[in-house]
Structure 1
């Protein structure tokens, strides 16, 4: 299933794929790919993002979520999960708690929100005991491309 197949399901999905400019990707690359946690990595959109991050040499995805579902969804995309690791968890809370533990122990260096509620995701991250929250600014990015802007990064 592609984004084009899903556009009727949500007003937030658009038919054209968003493509980042090559010079922007070049700024992000250049070093060894960092391990990045994809929290509740089920469904096409988050797995396409993880697959593209591997292909661009930007990240080594650590996929948190229901392992059987992740494997099935990746297979539907034709991705063999090369370059990615899976941490089998159950539900939204299980995925985000395991991902936060990964940040705490250094096995992941950043987190990307997948198929879970934002309040569950952010709540676990900003909790004082998470070890993620510091005196520095925490950045959470939500990208939405209006139809007139589709395809621009």
Structure 2
């Protein structure tokens, strides 16, 4: 990637990874509008980034890390607001079709991000650990616990449908 200019890297990133960044943002945000804002912020950060990318995989990992961080920022900002909820506003859209992705979205943040990066994006536990700033064994524990929670959640959902 050393021969590519900043504009070429940006064009490559938008072309190849905009869907990936959007999926990661949707995975971590409560509504589509927030996810779209995150995608825009991530690519704006890429435009301003002066560092170098060793490879295309490094670029993808950087984009996903910035996406997860931006989602954290949004969540933190929402918690810090001291505003009253407007009862007249509709709730954010939720996909309640019983899919596995809905169950994954209900997991705690660390589990959700580890599952997404490992199973949806194909990263190893060590790579996920580097991206999330956690030891490999911690990531493996998150994945094991997430699978157990998903098993319980989906089993209960199936039992509820049968009754």
Q: TM-score, normalised by structure 2?
A: 0.27
Whichever structure has more helix as a proportion of its residues is 2
* Larger Rg over CA atoms: 2
Q: Looking at both structures, which has the greater relative contact order when contacts are Cα pairs under 8 Å and sequence separation is at least 6?
A: 1
Whichever structure has more strand as a proportion of its residues is 1
